[in-house]
Structures are given as C-alpha cells and as structure tokens.
Structure 1
Amino acid sequence: MALHGPRPASLLPLLLLLAASLALSAGQNWNPLNDLFRKRHVDSSPILNVASINAYCSKMMWRRALYGRLSNTFIIAKPEDINKVCSTEGLAKGPYRYESKNPFDIIVCIYNHFTLSYTGLKDKQKIVLSCWKGLPALYIKHVQPDLMPVP
C-alpha cells in the first residue's frame, strides 16, 4: 500500500494561477519573464565600498540561486526606474530592444573557477534590455555612455 501524504509540488500550479489572477485583477500585466529578469538582475540596495563588492557578488549569486553562473550583471536601481527603460526612458534599438537614455549603476559578477568565488566590478553604464508587454524581460548588455565632446 502506498503512503498518502502532502504533495506540495501539486500546489505549485495553483499558486501560479492565483498569482496570475491577482495580478490581472489588479489591472497589471503579469509577465513571468519580468519576474525572472528581476530575480537575476535587479537590486535596489546600495553598495558602500569597493572591498565589499566581491562579497556582495558571492552573497547575491548564492541568495538568488545563480551560484556557478560564469557571469551576471546586477542593476542597482529601483524596479520602477528600470521598467521606464521600456517606455519613456529608453531609445528603441531594434525589435523589442531598448537602450537606457541615462546610465545606471551596475555590478558585473564574474565567477573564478580557482577560488570558487566571484569578483565584482562596479561601473556606471547604459543598459540594453529586451522588453515584453512594456516590462523588461531580458538583460542584453551594457554600453559605455556617450562622452561629451571637449570644447
């Protein structure tokens, strides 16, 4: 006789359906690609000093279940500000691609196979995102901001 007990995996589709219905009833578009994008690339907590950037990368990659990826870029900004790249604060650069008008603080985390840890590089650059239903879905790349000509 088989044991019958709780099966939490059978509740997952119901929870996803509940989340989708709540988002739709609130008048918002539910975009699962945006949820994944936010998990992988968005962080609104500020970084204070350069020495802690490596620790930040290791901690964030572990916390977000991304540990072992060769590289990942975190955008240090509020989700609302990043969402604007797909509308008013972005320039169309192809189908579904938008480049930010202004640079963002970013941290690029690069995996080191020898130390099994991450090295973080902090910079301020424009970002290129792929957008779907008016929300970021994929992080494409970062680009150097345009330099002002010297008079």
Structure 2
Amino acid sequence: SCLSHVIFLVRVFCAYVLLHVNNPKNEAPSNRAYCKMMMVDRGVIWKYTNTFIHEPINTINAVCKDDGIPVGGFNRQSKKTFKITTCTFNILTFSFNGLNGTSKIVLTCLNGLPVRFVRYI
C-alpha cells in the first residue's frame, strides 16, 4: 500500500541520517577521538569504515534533486563538495582513525531522498 511504502522510505531515510549525517560536526580533541565517539554513539562500531557528512540535511537532500547528477541506477553525484570525516577501523591498534576532507559525494536516492552513502570522490 501507499502508506507502507511511505513508512519504509521514512525508516530507510532516518537510518541513513543516523549513519552518515553529523551537522554541525561534534567537537572532539582529535579525529581519532571524534571517530571513536561517533561510531560508538551511532552504534556502528561493527562497520570497518563510515563517512559522516557535515552539511545541513537540506543541502544533502538536494543531491537527490537539482544539485546532483545521475551516475547510474538510483545513484547521484553531488555537483558541489561537502565537508566530510571518514572513520576507518585499524585492526592493528584496535581503534578508529579519522580523516577530514572536502569531496563530492555519491548517494543512492529513492523518491528524492538519500537512502545510502555510496562513496566520496
């Protein structure tokens, strides 16, 4: 039904926001401390790598509309760059490393909303 489709889309969008959006960026003494805090707080310590986007949600959502370029399937690449932090788990030190950057991003979109972070470019 239409309602079940809407509920599904809202759940997927909310899960995406929880995994990938942090704006403004939470303060931490270092990238390592930021990544440890965020990966634990967001419940994604099971992921090897995760990227957080530090932009307003409306700016991110716009990638799925006029501010994005179709790149195949349901994926769209941003026209502008975004502030991001990528957190990666280091198996040797059993800790997270963080890398700040500014990059274009590729998102999977459904009904004009991002539902998956694909990669940064």
Tell me the TM-score range normalised by the shorter chain: 0.7 to 0.9
- Greater C-alpha radius of gyration: 1
Equivalent of residue 13 in structure 2, options 34, 43, 52: 34
Structure 1 residues 89 and 62: alpha-carbon distance in aligned structure 2, compared to 1, 3 A threshold? same
Equivalent of residue 53 in structure 2, options 67, 72, 75: 75
Deviation, 1:71, is 0.6
Q: 1:105 aligned to 2:83? A: yes
CA RMSD of aligned residues (A): 2.2
Structure 2 partner of 1:43: 22
Please show how residues 58-97 of structure 1 align to structure 2 within 5 Å. Answer: 58-97=36-75
Report the residue type matching 1:133 in the other structure: N
Deviations 1:96-135 (A, max 9, x none): 1110000001111010123221100011000000000110
2: CA distance, partners of 1:55 / 1:80: 27
Structure 1 partner of 2:101: 123
More divergent stretch after superposition (110-119 vs 69-78): 110-119
- Checking the alignment, whether the CA contact within 8 Å between 1:76 and 1:104 is kept in structure 2 is yes
Deviation, 1:48, is 6.4
Deviation, 1:47, is 6.0
Deviation, 1:31, is 2.4
1: CA distance, partners of 2:77 / 2:102: 14
With structure 2 as the length reference, what TM-score do the two structures score?
A: 0.87
- Checking the alignment, whether the CA contact within 8 Å between 1:47 and 1:53 is kept in structure 2 is no
With structure 1 as the length reference, what TM-score do the two structures score?
A: 0.71
Tell me the SS of whatever aligns to 1:44: coil
* Greater relative CO (CA pairs within 8 A, separation 6+): 2
Segments of 5+ residues of structure 2 without an aligned counterpart are none
- Checking the alignment, whether the CA contact within 8 Å between 1:58 and 1:118 is kept in structure 2 is yes
Segments of 5+ residues of structure 1 without an aligned counterpart are 1-19, 144-151
Q: How many residue pairs end up in the alignment?
A: 118
Deviations 1:50-69 (A, max 9, x none): x5211110000000000132
Structure 2 partner of 1:138: 116
- Checking the alignment, whether the CA contact within 8 Å between 1:31 and 1:133 is kept in structure 2 is no
- Checking the alignment, whether the CA contact within 8 Å between 2:27 and 2:34 is kept in structure 1 is no
Deviation, 1:77, is 0.9
